[in-house]
Amino acid sequence: MEYVNILCQFVRGDLTNEKFEKYICDNQLIESNIGNELYQSLIKENFKDRNAVTDIKSVINNFLLNNHPPKCKCCFIRNLDRSGFGSDFSENIFLHLKKTKDKGKKYWWISLYECNTCHQGWLVAQDENYDDFYFMRLDSVKIQDIESNNWPIIFDNYNSLSTIVSTSSRFSDY
């Protein structure tokens, strides 16, 4: 189901228009998965037109929700993401995430979380200056590092968190 992952990455903004367009052109076999109508509209899409890309993301999003409804929200979180305390997006994310480790006293705002549904690991920082959560998607190597207390340093500077992850609007609020 690699194509579902690719579609999710494109919709949430982790895959550039150029790379997605190339994927669609190089992988004609996904037509049988996504159907002729959607495939044809992707092939004809002008990926340089911002409004057209917004529209096609909306179509893909509906396709995903109807055909591959996610059991958790991980697929909608960008590799590096930011979300306000108390927003619907944050509330939905934390329905499935559980904290498994804290970085420790000096870094009270940083923790390791794991999704109890898909088991994706996340580095999460809480920024009480801006009332935001920050997320970084972790691969298995990084998770092992954290388990041996070798934490990523990306969120270490509490006062620069807001400069690391922009507030650029996500495609939708899911």
Point out which residues bind Zn ion (CB under 5 A): 72, 74, 115, 117-118, 120
Whole-number minimum distance, CB 68 to Zn ion, in Å?
Answer: 13
In angstroms, the first-to-last Cα distance of the chain is 21
Whole-number minimum distance, CB 72 to Zn ion, in Å?
Answer: 3
Q: Which is nearer to Zn ion, 4 or 59 (CB)?
A: 4
Whole-number minimum distance, CB 80 to Zn ion, in Å?
Answer: 17
Q: Which is nearer to Zn ion, 24 or 74 (CB)?
A: 74
β-partners of residue 132 are: 84, 127
Q: Which is nearer to Zn ion, 6 or 74 (CB)?
A: 74
Let me know how many helices (H) and strands (E) the chain has, helices first: 8, 5
3-class DSSP assignment, residue 125: strand
Whole-number minimum distance, CB 58 to Zn ion, in Å?
Answer: 23
Residues 6+ apart with CB under 8 A from 148: none
Q: Which is nearer to Zn ion, 42 or 72 (CB)?
A: 72
Q: Which is nearer to Zn ion, 117 or 126 (CB)?
A: 117
* Cα distances (angstroms) measured from residue 69 to each of 27, 63, 76, 138: 23, 9, 12, 23
* Cα distances (angstroms) measured from residue 46 to each of 12, 16, 144: 19, 13, 42
Closest C-alpha to 70, from 99, 39, 92: 92
Whole-number minimum distance, CB 88 to Zn ion, in Å?
Answer: 17
